Structure 1
Amino acid sequence: MDDMNVDIPEETLPSAGFIFEDVTSVFTEAACDMELGSFVFMDDLTLHDAMGAFEIGEPRLDSGLITEGQNLPPFDPTMPLLPQELCWILDRAFSYEMEWHAGNLLSHTVFTFLYVHHLADLDVDFMPSYVYQDPSRPRELLFVVLKAWVTGLLKCCDLSWRELSKGGVQDAEDWQSEKCDVSLLEGVPVKLALSSLEEASSWLLNTTKFPVLWRNALRARITLRKIILQIMHTDIFASPSQYQDLIDTAREQLAIIRSHPSPVPVASSPVHHVFDPYIARLLKTFVPLRIVPLPAPEETWRSISDLLDGWQELCVLAQVHNLSTWEIVGHLRVWSPQLPPRIPYLRSQAQSTFYDGLLILNKFTFTWMVDRFFYETLGVTYDSLASTIKQHWPFQALPLSRMERMLYKLITPHIRGQWLNPPRRRRHLAKSLLDWHSLYDALIEITTHLRDTGVTKDHLVTQMPNVALVWRLGAIREVIFSGFQLELFAREERPIAYWLVAQVLDEHLSCLDDLLRVVHKDSTAHHELQFQYQLLTALQSMSTAVFVASMSFISFDWSRLRPTFYRRYKWAFRPEYEDIETQPIGHPDICRLMPTCADVLQNELFSPSGEIEMAETILSGLTKFGNSGGWAASWANDRLQFLSCLVDACKGLRALPASVKEIEAFDASSLKWDPTVHPWFPAIAASAERREDQIY
């Protein structure tokens, strides 16, 4: 190698100090005849092989590469700790735990806490007493308090992992299941972990080895860990009052922690090395190394507070035996940008609470579910409807069993689907529309035969198809509106989406008209129908107004518009619909778009701003008088808050054109969609913002 063309200092070579030779010149000479940008291909060279050639030396891909500043001193799991240092360690571990719940990997969050891997070393019987001669660093802090807390942390992760792995949420999409062959104490009984936490709490209560301020601070953190473990292990149906007491106590401990923040240790303190963000290099994982930035402590406490709020909501919801209430709560969680989104663990637990694979709400069968399906819309029991059908059915074989099986297949996934992540929720609703239409067709067939036997159209039993149609049209509305929230629509697609949803809402209102005529006026079902009627009327006015105001976005280039339309709304054009005799209601028809646009432009009486004003009046009336409907139950205030958000959306659209003549002069680009402000409707940007957009 004496003829090397490139001089490289020996100390910069990889593995300097070992017997290696620099072979850079070999590759330089071999490539000297190649032109810049050319490639040499070999037989059987795959993309994987090519990427492997670049992997070494690339920090984002090579988990074994240790760059300057990443070398950490050896970790001593038995080093003595000050109480304030231990507080800081526990707070930071709380943060990593919540980051795992937020969707990051265990290897990048919880497993960076090195005591997780050295739990077996925290055994006081194997430590010489002279190591802990400093009275300010009692050994019980390590071998009693910290050991118990780490045990509780791992057991909480184990219980969370078991819940998340049930399939209610998606692995690698909502959460990460990779354990990297690290134990989460799967075989340790929860009672044993709780016992060690109780022992640690008792020692902190009675010790006098350090000031009471830090005793209380550490005890609050130990107690919070114990209560979180208890809540995860407690059956929500067995003792709702005990469940609620645990949540209240956890909030008290969280308030104490917030009032006693832990100070950040000095930079030279060895406790900074308790967390190794590069621990994934030593674990069995196929995921590239990633450093997860930790949030501020207050954000962690807010996340834990949201977790407690989610348990609180679930505790109340578990005692609510109404399908409509469950659906309303699921909707509000998606509709309201002010409400914090639930972490995957809570969404999975909500699904398991509603249906555990055997019973609904831990006590009801599918027969109860069918009864609630009709009772909550018609105000009468399913038994009374079935009795009427049996009395007037003209054939020997009753059709009820087939219809009930359809409901079994539809309702439970529909309710559970409200707690999927937004994209999967939308996909689930779109896929279910065919089954809802099959149910509607079956009910139409039943009521048609009943009318032939003399049952009048004003009888409640003839409204059974409308019950299925209400649920189906609501699902179509959610599929279209969620496209705005997920920012799926291109600029040209937005006015078309508003046009379609206005048509769906028109069909929905017609259906509610039929139901309101026959449902008993003093029933909760009637109150809910009235609320829905007013809400949907306001939504239809808003959708129509925004459609007309943004009509200029549509290019009307048929060769481009038509394939985009059919691709976006492919759920409505499944070939299976052709096998069903009844025509689907609320399906999009692109051929009606151009005539509709022409009719709107010729209607001199139409006023987009007038539609917004009418919608605002309706919504303000609902909000002012506290009329949140019949089945909202404990979530009536949350639904009123959603109405207030819709009122604000109306206020942001007050400057729409007052007439059709003003539409041509209206700058449609001033409409700004922001799902964090409102999930469905835009606001008109200020003139200053429009000028700034034009500049840039």
Structure 2
Amino acid sequence: MESNGMPAIAQQVGGLNINDGPPKPGPFVAYELEPPPPPKINNKNLITMDVTEQFTSAAQKLELGELVKDPHFTLFESVGALEIMDSKMDSGHLEEGETMQDDYDFSKALLPEEIIGIIDQLLCHEMAWHMGYPLSQTIFTSLYIDRLLMPTPTSLEETYFDRSDSRLQKEPLTLQILRAYCLGLIKTCWFVNSRVRSEHFYEEEDFVTHTFNRSLLDRVGHEAILQLLDETVELLSGSDDIPREIKDALFSRLLFRARFLRIVEVAASRTAPGVKEMWTELQSSLPQIISSTNLGKPVPDSFSVKVQRKLASTVPPRPIVIVSQEGAFAHLERLCRDAAAALDVFEYYDSHSLFTFVSLFQARKPQPSVYVRTLLQHYLFGDMIILGTMSIRQVLDEDIANFVLPASKLLDRNNDEVEVPTDPRFIAAEKMEIFRSRAAGTYLDILRTMCQNRCRIRRTLCHTIVDWDNLQLDAEDLDQQLREFTQEEPILDRNISNEPIYAFPLSSWAYFYKLRQMEWIVQMGFELELYQPDELAAMYWYVQYLSRTRLRHLERIRTFVTRSTSTSASRLKDIGTAGGLECANAQAYNNLSTLEASANSAFADALSCLYTVLDRLGLLSKLPQPYSDDHMRYEVRMKPFLGIGLPELVPFPELTQLVTQSNENTLDILEFAAESTAAAKRALEGLAKLNAEQGFCRGSHGSWVVEVKNALKACILANITIVTVRRAVEAAGDEGKVKLKAEIPGPSARYHDWWIVPKVVPVP
């Protein structure tokens, strides 16, 4: 270390001769025609050589996009290598003859066609912002928008483009149209930005709310802007100087902006009437705008990347984001359609239907935009009131009652009225309140998680299952304490256990949701393409393992629910109509969950066997793993489950033996896979026949049926693939090579995101 310290530096400096060599180059030597001479180094331990030719020759051999990285070239060296006055890194760098700001004349009159061109470009930038790009690369690149926002206006009188003495004259109609539209656009962005910031989202990943120290007309009321838009529409209608076709195009754009502003102002309200119709009306106005985009004339000078130099930003200048008009209008149409569909969540039927609605809504392709997802969050949890009308306790108690505790004394609201501490009802109410306080946040986190993007849903579920595991342990203690109140009689069955078997309803409820989330984590891995082809057999085996565990748990729940509901006539009279409905719902939901788990288990088992055979035949590609092996990869995949007590994690050696089935014949494995697909097909066909009430998908029955039928199509395709592989294996015999080629389809080529059926093609 001492050789690199100050003594060594002093020794090298002492060996230098200041008077030797050419004069010291000036600060602008980089701009001279001839490069500076190499430095003269007087050190016997250093040998210098010119590597220009070797470096150039090596660089020419690199493919386009190929990167060579020195592991010892750290971040410190990278920052030190940045060049000042490089246009890519220095926002203050100016080319020869370039000015710091754009010399744009805001007083010049614009043609009506140019107004259409600017408005359409602003709409593209607005949608680019909704897609996740920052304002600095989209809307703020408009010089007209920048003119309105600087300095911060406090009234409409301070928002004119032309701020010279000539402004005392009447503003041209074209500029008033553009000004009114721009003001409406900025205020619309303010409402959207405020809504997104008030909900749970991921900055830079989902949406960029940073305004770069610019005020989005915070001090200007939206009523004044709407009035200006209405006045401009009236002036445009009475004008005879603009051709009819151009006038209609401008008219439709002003009306669109006014409608959009009105919608975003009331969209977050859970009581405002007609919001869904407003979104539908806004969407119906888009075709008229789309059909007139050809009338616009672009004005590229009105947009500039130089505006970024005046924004409060710590990043280098970035290029303007260009989104095509087709892409922008398609995104806007989806936004209107999804926002209108999100309002259907207010049609509450039961907690299970609510979960189904949210999960199917967020699984749409493409996924709803961030603004729509934050609106849905607000509808669900705003002010900690579910859908604006129900308490968290009401939804939580209903979910428990319609699954594990139908018509139970533990959920009787009359227990809350008892004030005697020694009364069993008082103790039961106290214990149940403890459980609710622990379960409410964990329960609502599932819905809140579903409102995120698909990658975040899986990542968050990996953390929340730990909370459910802890909740299950806490619920077991409470279940034991509540037996004194319920006077539960255990089941004595020596074939199952030598110990008495109790229901444990609260812990069973928590265990069911934990199992369901574990299945979602593994299944979303297929959707997000996390697994390599050679991992698919093991991961599908784990899906069937979790599904079968859920099946056994559902059977246990069914046993105790059936026993509790098989009461005498006097008991049925005591629980009343509401209690009888809860018993029926508990049985129906158990039947639905059992049928769904059976379909998942059978289908996953079939695909696991199919991929095992394909791997045995050498038809699956396997990427090299120089820094890992199958065991290490399995630990990474199962990392979210390492801290879970039940179900137990399957050890890797045991998993390998169960998946590879080395003792089984290939044809026998394919035969079992065919039988499993037949069982899965029967279960999926049964699901597809259920109505909205039986499927607990009221409010989203159409989407639910489509989801089931897509899985059914994948199941039928899997059966065809299994038959094809079996015939090829039979034709090849014991010693021959199977003449097949297997391909793993991408997400867009699958019937269902969670069921990856390989494409098998015969080869000569």
Alignment TM-score, normalising by the size of structure 1: 0.81
State which of 153, 175, 180 in structure 2 corresponds to 1:142. 175
In structure 1, C-alpha distance between the alignment counterparts of 2:598 and 2:521, rounded to whole Å: 18
Q: CA deviation digits over 1:390-423, x for unaligned, max 9?
A: 9978989953232111112212222111011222
In structure 2, C-alpha distance between the alignment counterparts of 1:182 and 1:585, rounded to whole Å: 53
Give the secondary-structure state (helix, strand or coil) at the position aligned to 2:273.
helix
Query: Residue type of the partner of 2:274?
Result: Q
**1:680 to 2:680 alignment:** no
Partner of 1:75: 104
* Native 8 Å contact 2:612 2:660 kept in 1: no
Q: Give 1:43-122 correspondences, 5 Å limit.
A: 47-48=75-76, 51-56=79-84, 58-65=86-93, 74-119=103-148, 122=160
Query: Residue type of the partner of 1:672?
Result: I
In structure 1, C-alpha distance between the alignment counterparts of 2:435 and 2:219, rounded to whole Å: 46
In structure 1, C-alpha distance between the alignment counterparts of 2:377 and 2:690, rounded to whole Å: 33
In structure 2, C-alpha distance between the alignment counterparts of 1:329 and 1:586, rounded to whole Å: 31
**1:652 to 2:722 alignment:** no
Partner of 2:315: 287
Q: Which structure's CA Rg is the greater one?
A: 2
Give the secondary-structure state (helix, strand or coil) at the position aligned to 1:683.
coil
* Structure 1 residue 87: Cα displacement: 1.6
Unaligned runs of 5+ in 2: 1-20, 42-46, 53-72, 149-157, 417-422, 492-500, 563-579, 617-621
In structure 1, C-alpha distance between the alignment counterparts of 2:664 and 2:327, rounded to whole Å: 55
**1:178 to 2:202 alignment:** no
Give the secondary-structure state (helix, strand or coil) at the position aligned to 1:340.
coil
Partner of 1:366: 392
**Stretch moving more, 213-222 or 445-454:** 445-454
In structure 2, C-alpha distance between the alignment counterparts of 1:107 and 1:610, rounded to whole Å: 58
Decide whether aligned partners of structure 1 residues 164 and 53 sit closer, same or farther in structure 2, where only a CA change above 3 A counts.
same
**1:567 to 2:628 alignment:** no
Partner of 2:658: 596
**1:35 to 2:49 alignment:** yes
Partner of 2:328: 300
Decide whether aligned partners of structure 1 residues 290 and 601 sit closer, same or farther in structure 2, where only a CA change above 3 A counts.
farther
Q: Give 1:343-362 correspondences, 5 Å limit.
A: 343-362=369-388
State which of 249, 257, 266 in structure 2 corresponds to 1:217. 249
Partner of 1:424: 456
In structure 2, C-alpha distance between the alignment counterparts of 1:396 and 1:24, rounded to whole Å: 90
Unaligned runs of 5+ in 1: 6-12, 39-44, 133-137, 578-582, 692-696
In structure 1, C-alpha distance between the alignment counterparts of 2:558 and 2:255, rounded to whole Å: 53
Identity %, equivalent residues: 19
Partner of 1:541: 602
Query: Residue type of the partner of 1:30?
Result: P
Partner of 2:699: 634
In structure 2, C-alpha distance between the alignment counterparts of 1:177 and 1:169, rounded to whole Å: 10
Decide whether aligned partners of structure 1 residues 586 and 101 sit closer, same or farther in structure 2, where only a CA change above 3 A counts.
farther
Partner of 2:673: 608
* Structure 1 residue 74: Cα displacement: 2.6
Q: Give 1:660-679 correspondences, 5 Å limit.
A: 662=729, 670-676=742-748, 677=750, 678-679=752-753
Give the secondary-structure state (helix, strand or coil) at the position aligned to 2:629.
helix
* Structure 1 residue 73: Cα displacement: 6.5
Partner of 2:544: 502
Query: Residue type of the partner of 1:353?
Result: Y
Decide whether aligned partners of structure 1 residues 36 and 345 sit closer, same or farther in structure 2, where only a CA change above 3 A counts.
farther
* Structure 1 residue 84: Cα displacement: 2.5
* Native 8 Å contact 1:470 1:511 kept in 2: yes
Decide whether aligned partners of structure 1 residues 384 and 445 sit closer, same or farther in structure 2, where only a CA change above 3 A counts.
closer
In structure 2, C-alpha distance between the alignment counterparts of 1:149 and 1:460, rounded to whole Å: 68
Decide whether aligned partners of structure 1 residues 282 and 651 sit closer, same or farther in structure 2, where only a CA change above 3 A counts.
farther
**Stretch moving more, 618-627 or 245-254:** 618-627
What number of residue pairs does the alignment pair up?
A: 649
* Structure 1 residue 595: Cα displacement: 4.2
Give the secondary-structure state (helix, strand or coil) at the position aligned to 2:274.
helix
Query: Residue type of the partner of 1:303?
Result: H
Decide whether aligned partners of structure 1 residues 669 and 334 sit closer, same or farther in structure 2, where only a CA change above 3 A counts.
farther
- The two structures, once aligned, show a CA RMSD in angstroms of 4.1
* Structure 1 residue 641: Cα displacement: 1.2
Q: Give 1:76-475 correspondences, 5 Å limit.
A: 76-119=105-148, 122=160, 126=164, 128=166, 139-143=172-176, 145-166=177-198, 168-234=200-266, 236-265=268-297, 271-320=299-348, 322-336=350-364, 339-378=365-404, 380=406, 385=411, 398-448=430-480, 454-456=487-489, 463-475=505-517
In structure 2, C-alpha distance between the alignment counterparts of 1:238 and 1:156, rounded to whole Å: 19
In structure 2, C-alpha distance between the alignment counterparts of 1:621 and 1:396, rounded to whole Å: 40
Query: Residue type of the partner of 1:55?
Result: E
* Structure 1 residue 99: Cα displacement: 0.5
Decide whether aligned partners of structure 1 residues 586 and 478 sit closer, same or farther in structure 2, where only a CA change above 3 A counts.
farther
* Structure 1 residue 384: Cα displacement: 5.2
